[in-house]
Chains A and B, each alone.
Chain A
Amino acid sequence: MTTTVAHPSRLRAVALIVRRSLRRHAFATSVTILASALAAGLVMAVFAIQSQSQRAFTGGNVGFDAVLGARGSKLQLILNSVFHLDESPGNIPWSVYARLKADPRMRFVVPYAVGDNYKGFRIVGTTPNLFDEYRYGDDHSLMFSDKGRSFSPDRREAVIGSFVAARTGLRYGDHFHPSHGISFDDSDDDHDHHAHDEEYVVVGVLEPTNSPIDRVVWIPIDGIFRMGGHVLRADGDVYVPRHGEAIPEDFKEISAVMLKFKAPTIGADLDNVINKEGKEFTLAWPIASVMASLFEKFGWITRVLQLVAYLVVIVSACAILAAVYNTINERRREFAILRALGARKSIVFSAIVIESAAIAAIGAVVGFVFYGVIVGVAASIIRSQTGVVIDVWSYHPALIVAPPGMIILGALAGVIPAIKAYATNVAANLNPHS
């Protein structure tokens, strides 16, 4: 028996059958596509957010090699001084900073003192050399927008991060009163009660760095020492700074010392001396390793989120199965007609599997919209909470693997309906027998 059936023609037939079916069941198809899109978007977003946030917190150049602080948790020390989150583990004497500043192995040393906020944004007391010597990312310097400049160490002047400026509305030349403490209750009507009397003027707004720096209000460290209500303690004595009087160095306390080494090996030396042999202080070094431990501790959360995403994908595959399966009964006559026209069973089977795969494929494409929305919202939250910026469209293998994965799953979901269509009794579904 001669066979003159052109295979490309059969493929065109299958494509036409699939297109017409999708059009005839437009509503059910649209709903199923949305479910698939949500699943694809979610699974891509979970992997991408986890990966990018881990990279942002552990892989970027935070500008310092190590942080020295009170004896305690390295993680807490880094969260407090690098990411400006969490509470300070305690204070250390100014003399520690002075010694390290004089240490020839240091490229630069910066003291941090925290304790106040402005509308929830950390106020960090430091020295002006931060703005000259600090480098972030790929060796970028801190830049002031327009006519901004660094603060004068003995004036009530402030430099604010770009995110602070955007959220609080503070601009160059504006005045503000710091609030006591590092937390801010927006629902508290009695803000003035918590505000310090001291008034600061903004002399510089930093250009965006896409780092935690953007969320900080910087003032001279002397300003923290002299802020109303603050007391300095050293050796059990209490000292209340007085206007016009230099503060004895023995009473000065700071939250941390930020260190940038001249050579990487210095970190190991200091680690030995401070962490292993000493008992007074903690050196958080290397910063990336300490932050990585945070993600290891909370890895189970990621795994739970991934599990949820996988379950949503399975549910979407079931939705495809149900949607296509439900059309099979009403389409029995269509299949019978196709078979009567000479369509092989394999063509009917293929058409159903490809239809399911097509739904999943369209869902996967639309899924990128959901992905953009989910990661965009997550990035916005992460940025507002930490200052760390996540690139929504940064490459992640999930963006490559998920779409074909969804299509394969969609095709598999079509197998059961396809078997049902495959088994259609042609003669019984064509027309009345006579």
Chain B
Amino acid sequence: MPLLEINNLLKQYAAPDGSTSTIVDVSAFELEPAQQLALRGESGSGKTTFLNLIAGILAPDSGRITIAGDEITTRSEAARDTLRATRLGYVFQTFNLLQGYTALENVELAMMLGRGLDRPFARKLLEQVGLASRLHYRPAQLSVGQQQRVAVARAIANHPQLVLADEPTGNLDATNAQTSLTLLRDLCESNGAALLIVSHDPTVLDQFDDHRDFAEINRASQHAEATT
């Protein structure tokens, strides 16, 4: 059984001129447990919206998203929050670390909101991403590469079944990008989590045996390309 199964997913927004703009229109998409898949997509292609729909941050206008057999699209917002906290990890392009919190607290807070605080595991994760000596540093005291490594550790904190990564290397130099990507993939693999990464960076995409064009999946992108 696929870990992630999507059918006829549609998300539209009202355009400023009053018309309706379709951002995501995916007829079918699947991801197997522990699979690592990269989606190539340009800016504005709707891939962030796609990931937010999978994460339950956004609710689709229609369609079905099933994660490990649970259909989330019919769930309440609070139920989707719980699923996100306990089963999903999310790595953002802009890291989205909480600025007033230390590296350790960023990871611990995710645990508190998810499966419960496991301080030894939080420390172990940060050690695994090379930040054993930076546990009590706040984001502003860390380099961008270190910040993204904290974000990677945080995404794994609740032993997720699925990790979503939205342009995780977009704000990093080549060296830090490679380090973060390797850590993310290794941690997902060692924790048995599937990884769905979206990026427009060929050096990222080329490292995945399994990668696809988001435009192939998203009919809205195809339509947009056809009309431009």
A, B co-complexed: yes
Report B87-119 residues with CB < 8 Å from chain A CB.
88, 90, 92-94, 96-101, 105, 108-117
Q: How many chain B residues touch the partner (CB < 8 A)? A: 52
Is B167 interfacial (CB 8 A cutoff)?
yes
Q: Which of A3, A4, A10 contacts B112 (CB 8 A)?
A: A10
The stretch of A18-26, A50-58, A122-130 that contacts the partner chain: A18-26
Q: Which 6 A-B pairs have the closest CB atoms?
A: A342-B85, A13-B112, A6-B116, A431-B94, A20-B100, A342-B84
Q: Which of B43, B48, B78, B112 contacts A345 (CB 8 A)?
A: B78
Q: Are B81 and A20 neighbours in the complex by a CB distance under 8 Å?
A: no
12 of the cross-chain contacts (CB-CB < 8 Å) are A1-B79, A3-B82, A16-B101, A341-B90, A342-B85, A342-B88, A342-B110, A427-B48, A430-B57, A430-B96, A431-B92, A431-B94
Q: How far is the CB of B167 from chain A (nearest CB, A)?
A: 6
Instruction: Contacts A340-B84, A427-B58 given; indicate if A434 touches B167 (C-beta within 8 A).
Output: yes
Instruction: Contacts A10-B113, A434-B43 given; indicate if A340 touches B96 (C-beta within 8 A).
Output: yes
Contact with A along B150-194 (1 / 0, CB 8 A): 000010001000000011000000000000000000000000000
Q: Within 8 Å CB of A333, what residues of B? A: 96
Is B41 interfacial (CB 8 A cutoff)?
yes
Q: Are A23 and B82 neighbours in the complex by a CB distance under 8 Å?
A: no
Q: Which of B42, B49, B93, B113 contacts A13 (CB 8 A)?
A: B113
Contact with B along A9-38 (1 / 0, CB 8 A): 110110011001101100000000000000
> In the complex, A338 Cα to B97 Cα: how many Å?
10
Name B170's closest neighbour in chain A (CB-CB). Answer: A434
Q: How large is the interface on A (under 10, 10 to 19, 20 to 34, 35 or more residues)?
A: 35 or more
Q: Are B96 and A4 neighbours in the complex by a CB distance under 8 Å?
A: no
Name A334's closest neighbour in chain B (CB-CB). Answer: B98
Is B44 interfacial (CB 8 A cutoff)?
yes
Instruction: Contacts A3-B86, A23-B100, A434-B167 given; indicate if A342 touches B113 (C-beta within 8 A).
Output: yes
Q: Are B100 and A433 neighbours in the complex by a CB distance under 8 Å?
A: no
Report A213-251 residues with CB < 8 Å from chain B CB.
none
Q: Within 8 Å CB of B217, what residues of A? A: none
Is B45 interfacial (CB 8 A cutoff)?
yes
Q: Are A342 and B86 neighbours in the complex by a CB distance under 8 Å?
A: yes
Q: Are A344 and B100 neighbours in the complex by a CB distance under 8 Å?
A: no
Q: How far is the CB of B70 from chain A (nearest CB, A)?
A: 5
> In the complex, A16 Cα to B110 Cα: how many Å?
11
Instruction: Contacts A20-B101, A21-B100, A341-B110 given; indicate if A9 touches B47 (C-beta within 8 A).
Output: no
Instruction: Contacts A6-B116, A337-B98, A345-B77 given; indicate if A427 touches B86 (C-beta within 8 A).
Output: no
Is B136 interfacial (CB 8 A cutoff)?
no
Q: How far is the CB of B135 from chain A (nearest CB, A)?
A: 15
> In the complex, A431 Cα to B48 Cα: how many Å?
9
Is B52 interfacial (CB 8 A cutoff)?
yes
